[in-house]
Amino acid sequence: METKILFVCLGNICRSPAAEGVFKRKIKDRNLESLFFVDSAGTGDWHVGNLADQRMRETASLRGIDLTSRSRQISGNDLYEFDRILVMDKDNLQAVNLLIQDQLRPINSKVELLLSYSKSTLLDEVPDPYYGGQDGFEVVLDLLDKAIDGLIDSLI
Point out the residues that are catalytic: 9, 15, 128
Q: How far is CA 19 from the centre of its chain?
A: 4
